[in-house]
A = this chain, B = another copy of it.
Amino acid sequence: MYNFKYEVGTKIFFGRNQIVNIGKEIKMYSDKVLIVYGGGSIKKNGIFDATIEQLRINNIEYFELGGVDPNPRIESVREGAKICKEKGINAILAVGGGSSIDCAKAISAATKYDGDAWDIVINKKLIKNAIPVFSILTLAATGSEMNGNSVISDYKNNLKLGTRSPLLIPKASILDPEYTYSVPHKHTAAGTADIISHTFENYFTSEEGGYLQARMAEAILKTCFHYGPIACREPENYEARANLMWASSWAINGLISDGVANNWSVHPMEHELSAFYDVTHGEGLAILTPAWMRYVLNDKTVNKFVEYGTNVWGIDSSLDKFDIANTAIDMTQEFFTKELGIPSSLSELRIDNKYFDKMATQAVRGETIKGFIELTAEDVRKIYESCLL
């Protein structure tokens, strides 16, 4: 286990009707707030009105930035920062999923930065200050509600990049599982795949000695495998929505990664899919993950797959190691396709090999992906290719 610093001070208000707490939390920092949201479903399902009511009770003036894309664009960040600077706003409230929260975080840093907002996306060291971010979560997926990460896209240049800073960690987040009842099957499935992928990225590591972190990761995986399909079938099952929502936060806030994780592998590959084709992030991850697993399985990595297969899927540990590993990978793929109903290949998303060379080059950023197993651009291209079948 290597040295690390863990610090996640977000106040989480979890459960039914916890939105009543948001006003006083914001009021501690500001009398004005910018509300950041996506396609506007929150204006139909009542969450926007409920939010406004809390702001009114606390005498907080609000401004709006709607229309944030599923892969939030740098143009939205620039627009939000402009509003905050012009109006003297000192707090940002994201109401939505990871897209809105990621966008809010980038705005919070850009508001306190003099240059162009894209600078702080490509160089996290430029984030020296930020205005407080708050969130009301409506989708269990990215974990953005409880960490300092933000992923922003520049579609003009086919770029999707992540930045991070402790300054971007939300001060408070409202996690009301009922707010995810209206999430459709497709996005419930993709969100679950995203949580699972975050967990895999941390779990499949060459670092020894993170026994606690590995068991915690398995706890999250079991939760997703158990409740993901239930939430898809029964969208108003409170326990399913609650467990997935809480799992989303813990998969990517340091608990299962600090001290153990390598750099990530599948996310950099998927970010290129999203950058070139705007695919749903979780679907891209679900297609790439089993292909990546098959590609990196070898004598050196097999024991980690055995750990996964026996501990998470309950595969008989007396079987041959590679049989256990391959069965575990098969079960993972079947879970994504049969239990969650996610497409099993890039071909199903009408993606061909046209940009694979360019995407692979961009995924490794001129070097290699130094993850669980080091991947060259050629390795990445082969993994993309294997997803066409």
Task: List residues of chain A with CB under 8 Å of any chain B CB.
Answer: 1-16, 18, 21, 208-212, 215-216, 218-220, 222-223, 226-227, 238-239, 242-243, 246-247, 250, 255, 258-259
Contact = CB atoms under 8 A, between A and B. Distances in A.
A211 B220 CA distance: 10
B212 A219 contact: yes
Most buried by B among A14, A219, A223, A250: A219
A8 to B, nearest CB: 8
Nearest to A17: B3
Nearest to A254: B12
Contacts of A250: 212, 216, 255
27 contacts: A1-B239, A1-B243, A3-B14, A3-B16, A4-B15, A5-B21, A6-B11, A6-B12, A7-B10, A8-B8, A9-B9, A209-B239, A209-B243, A211-B222, A211-B223, A211-B226, A211-B227, A211-B243, A212-B243, A215-B218, A215-B219, A215-B222, A215-B223, A218-B219, A242-B259, A250-B255, A255-B255
A215 B251 CA distance: 14
Contacts of A259: 14-15, 242, 246
A212 B246 contact: yes
Contacts of A11: 5-7
A9 B8 CA distance: 6
Question: Closest 3 interchain pairs by CB?
Answer: A3-B15, A9-B9, A215-B219
A4 B51 CA distance: 20
A284 to B, nearest CB: 25
